[in-house]
Structure 1
Amino acid sequence: MKLFPFGHATHPQWQMAAGLVLAQVRAQMALHDYARSPTLGLLYITDHYAGHAQDILDHLGAELPEITDWSGTVGVGISSTNVEYFDEPALAVMLCELPTDQYRVFSGVAPLGVGEGMGFEPHTALVHADARTPDVAELVAEMAQRTATGYLFGGLAASRTDAVQFAVGGNGNIKGHGAAGGVFRGGLSGVAFGEGISLVSRVTQGCQPVAPQRVITGADGNVITQLDGEPALDVLLRDTGISLDRPQEAMALLRATLVGLTQPGSDAVARTGNFGADVLVRHIIGLDPNRSGVAVADHVEAGMRMAFCRRDAQAARADLIRICAEIREELEPEEMSLPVAAALAAPEALAGPSADRRIAGAIYVSCAGRGGPHFGGPSAELQIVRRALGDVPLVGFFAGGEIARDHLYGYTGVLTVFR
């Protein structure tokens, strides 16, 4: 599989940004290492362009008639290789060369079918969703059940204006869309991939546990009343070193403290000391002195495991580097020639794409509350990914919630690469 052509640009006028992106992808398609016959386009725009979504999609479709399928959405920010665009008009495109019998574009109007007799079985899926859709978390879980592996990746559209999604398939419209132009609002949309599309995906929580994992032994709705048989509030104060005798200091520490929840039988803390993908990180939203309880932003039940944690730039940076290293380790050949090994060991190996790296393209969905500012500077988050993976084609967006497996996360990053 060759590298996926991609491009990104910012400009007050979307036509100029689209022209710059088209110039980039066309130049790459003329290069030997890049795919020359892509059929699937991924399109991400910032909310500055949301009002022009249909015009942008129509323009790109006309300029790239060989692209028969499109998917994407809007974010308060978007990303590409080594760069983030926050609070400015921008768009990013990646053109994927995949066997057409190994993927299907779907939307809420034309949902992903199961057992359609079409010879296609979804194994994984890229999912874009509207946060305003009722029971969106349940819809995500139901979508995961429609795939053979149960693994989804993607996120919720994030926009201060119109939360649009892009979904175009085959001859310009998916069956069931009628005369729709491929821009949708509400529900879920995305691309389902067959068994022949090899993906590697990881979730970075950006949090580090500050205490051992505990078992919830008492709960009422969203209030944890007991941990390991002790009053939950007492455990919180002891594990975090917070003293209610100093209210202002206590409030500041509580705002920085979160809870990592897992279902019964799962480990909240991996052997590396980091949170695993089963963990859902949620805010502490209040204390209940009458019941010595701790209220969290999710439903909790006795038997679940949890660990108190904190989210900061250092933890986020370390965890992002970790998942990139895990992806590289999984992609590296078990045996490689001496010249290839020498090339990968050289410092300049990170400076350019290489077929030996075995990454054709990547999609990165990060929380709108992360990005460069959280990591210490403009585009710092994407620069970390670039240093770890190299200059691989990458597009993505900053979401209002991140999707991985059958879960809806917050404050995370979901990095997925095509082998």
Structure 2
Amino acid sequence: MRRFLQAHATHPHWPMAAALVLAQLRALLAAAAPADPAGHGGAAGRLEAGQTVTPLGLLYLTDHYADAAADILDHLSAELPQVTDWVGAVGVGICAGGAEYIDEPGLAVMLCDLAPSRYRVFSGLAPLGATQGPEGFVPQTALVHADPATPDVTELVQELAERTLGHYLFGGLAASRAGSLQIARSSRGGLAGHGREAAAGLFRGGLSGVAFGPDVGIVSRVTQGVRAVSPAYRVTAARAQCVDELDGQPALDVLLRALDLSLDDLPAVIARLRQTLVGLQAPAAQAPGGAGGPEGRTGHEGHRGHVGRVPLRLGDDLLVRHLVGLDPARRAFVVADEVPVGGTLTLCARDVQAARADLVRICAEIRDELSPEEGEAGGDPVQRIAGAVYVSCNGRGGPHFGGPGAELQIVRHALGDVPLVGFFAAGEIAHHRLYGYTGVLTVFVADAPSG
């Protein structure tokens, strides 16, 4: 697995954006291709199969191009015939390199140097099998795109994670003004009879993506975008989404006391609660299983900060949810998710500085994860990154971080100019969970040089 190739462009007309992307990719492919025996360099114009191993392409489009998604996919497939499989999504915003395209035309492509035996494309019509698939393929991890309108999507994400050996997914809910449109075109069989979109490799509803085998090394981290405004309380009584007691006390009383509010001033309570989020942790949260890192390291451990003297997990087991209601008669409040008894609950608020610091933190952890062990030879750990996928909440991005591309520039500053594509999601997927207000950064680790 060598470094991936990435290109992106914007233009009011998709053929021009596609032409710009293809020109960038052709230059990169020509530079990567070895010279032929006659002494010529890489090919120009149409690229023929076999020049370089890039059968898997990741494609992300903004919804300005949604109506032309099938035409774009057909055009790219015709111009890049060595790319036999395509996976991606349409969103309100996408990202590539250090740039983001939010509410404007945008097209991003990354070509992945992965042999077909190392991955499998899946969709609702061609689902991912059990941990031992056909031809001996074993899914270790998976990049997933999902429709937020799908019933029981949280349970479906958990079920899909259980089909991978690492029990680890990364991706997000693909949502746009054109609905949820996912890309999953596989060379392993057509889907004739299911309509033009499905036959073209486009899907609405359910889950789709690409699974990777155990020999594809990844390191993945979740970055939170909130700061704690209370200690972490133990949930001692709850009914589904209704929190009745925290630390043995009426939950609403604890909430009001923590935020210095009184029900005598209901408008002030409502205004403050609209700005307040809840961070949930399951009882005795366990660190996720291995994600198939090249040295067997998992790549998704969390990070503990502190609020006062109470530890708060800022890593991948903190689920941030909205407060959606109060029950003064029962001295309870309601959260937009099921609240497990015995877990912890922390009141949070969105915070730009906390989001910046946590994004820097996960980038540093990724660098550390890729650093050689003591006594091992090795250079810059960033040189081990073949490519990256970043899925961020659609409430983040430049508008939240303070400027166009500011979020992506933090990643670029920390990891260098690595090939990166991704999108802004209506919910982020990592491990077997569905998050909100987070970013999920996953890097692919280049194969060690042979010999």
Whether the TM-score (by the shorter chain) exceeds 0.5 is yes
SS in 1 for 2:135: coil
1:333 matched to which residue of 2?
372
1:286 matched to which residue of 2?
325
1:260 matched to which residue of 2?
279
In structure 2, distance between residues paired with 1:185 and 1:398: 17
Which deviations, in whole Å up to 9, do the C-alpha atoms of 1:192-238 show, x marking residues without a partner? 00000000001112112222211111112311110010111121122
In the TM superposition, what are the counterparts of 1:115-130 in structure 2 within 5 Å?
115-130=132-147
- CA contact 2:192–2:199 (8 Å) conserved in 1: no
Note closer, same or farther for the CA distance 1:244–1:270 as it changes in structure 2 (3 Å cut): farther
Out of 287, 309, 319, the residue aligned to residue 358 of structure 2 is 319
In structure 2, distance between residues paired with 1:246 and 1:337: 63
- CA contact 1:127–1:154 (8 Å) conserved in 2: yes
Note closer, same or farther for the CA distance 1:153–1:230 as it changes in structure 2 (3 Å cut): same
Out of 67, 70, 89, the residue aligned to residue 105 of structure 2 is 89
2:38 matched to which residue of 1?
none
1:359 equivalent to 2:385? Answer yes
In structure 2, distance between residues paired with 1:254 and 1:143: 34
In structure 2, distance between residues paired with 1:6 and 1:327: 20
Note closer, same or farther for the CA distance 1:270–1:322 as it changes in structure 2 (3 Å cut): closer
SS in 2 for 1:286: strand
In the TM superposition, what are the counterparts of 1:102-113 in structure 2 within 5 Å?
102-113=118-129
Which deviations, in whole Å up to 9, do the C-alpha atoms of 1:150-209 show, x marking residues without a partner? 000001111101421111112563799798121111111100000000000011121122
In structure 1, distance between residues paired with 2:193 and 2:218: 29
Per the TM alignment, residue 25 of structure 1 is displaced from its structure 2 partner at its CA by: 1.2
Counterpart of 2:155, as a letter, is E
1:164 matched to which residue of 2?
181
Counterpart of 1:116, as a letter, is G
In structure 1, distance between residues paired with 2:5 and 2:399: 28
- CA contact 2:61–2:89 (8 Å) conserved in 1: yes
2:74 matched to which residue of 1?
58
1:351 matched to which residue of 2?
none
Out of 230, 251, 269, the residue aligned to residue 211 of structure 1 is 230
1:46 matched to which residue of 2?
62
1:352 matched to which residue of 2?
none
Note closer, same or farther for the CA distance 1:364–1:226 as it changes in structure 2 (3 Å cut): same
Higher mean C-alpha deviation, range 111-120 or range 153-162: 111-120
1:393 equivalent to 2:409? Answer no
SS in 1 for 2:348: strand
SS in 1 for 2:190: coil
The answer for unaligned runs of 5 or more in structure 2 is: 35-50, 288-301, 307-312, 446-451
- CA contact 2:175–2:181 (8 Å) conserved in 1: no
Higher mean C-alpha deviation, range 4-13 or range 286-295: 286-295
1:373 matched to which residue of 2?
399
In structure 2, distance between residues paired with 1:30 and 1:334: 35
In structure 2, distance between residues paired with 1:259 and 1:296: 8
Note closer, same or farther for the CA distance 1:176–1:5 as it changes in structure 2 (3 Å cut): farther
SS in 1 for 2:83: coil
Note closer, same or farther for the CA distance 1:408–1:385 as it changes in structure 2 (3 Å cut): same
- CA contact 2:389–2:441 (8 Å) conserved in 1: yes
Which deviations, in whole Å up to 9, do the C-alpha atoms of 1:352-381 show, x marking residues without a partner? xxx852111000011111111111111111
* Root mean square deviation, CA, Å: 2.4
- CA contact 1:131–1:157 (8 Å) conserved in 2: yes
2:290 matched to which residue of 1?
none
2:214 matched to which residue of 1?
195
SS in 2 for 1:89: coil
SS in 1 for 2:337: coil
Per the TM alignment, residue 251 of structure 1 is displaced from its structure 2 partner at its CA by: 3.2
In structure 2, distance between residues paired with 1:33 and 1:389: 25
Counterpart of 2:27, as a letter, is A
In structure 2, distance between residues paired with 1:196 and 1:177: 34
SS in 2 for 1:234: helix
Identity %: 61
Per the TM alignment, residue 319 of structure 1 is displaced from its structure 2 partner at its CA by: 1.1
SS in 2 for 1:325: helix
1:154 matched to which residue of 2?
171
Which deviations, in whole Å up to 9, do the C-alpha atoms of 1:60-99 show, x marking residues without a partner? 0000000011100111000011111011111100000012
Counterpart of 2:182, as a letter, is Q
Give the TM-score, by structure 2 length.
Answer: 0.85
- CA contact 1:42–1:71 (8 Å) conserved in 2: yes
SS in 2 for 1:385: helix
Out of 268, 271, 274, the residue aligned to residue 304 of structure 2 is 271
In structure 2, distance between residues paired with 1:387 and 1:407: 28
Note closer, same or farther for the CA distance 1:254–1:162 as it changes in structure 2 (3 Å cut): closer
Out of 329, 343, 347, the residue aligned to residue 308 of structure 1 is 347
- Number of residue equivalences: 406
1:416 matched to which residue of 2?
442
- CA contact 1:257–1:308 (8 Å) conserved in 2: yes
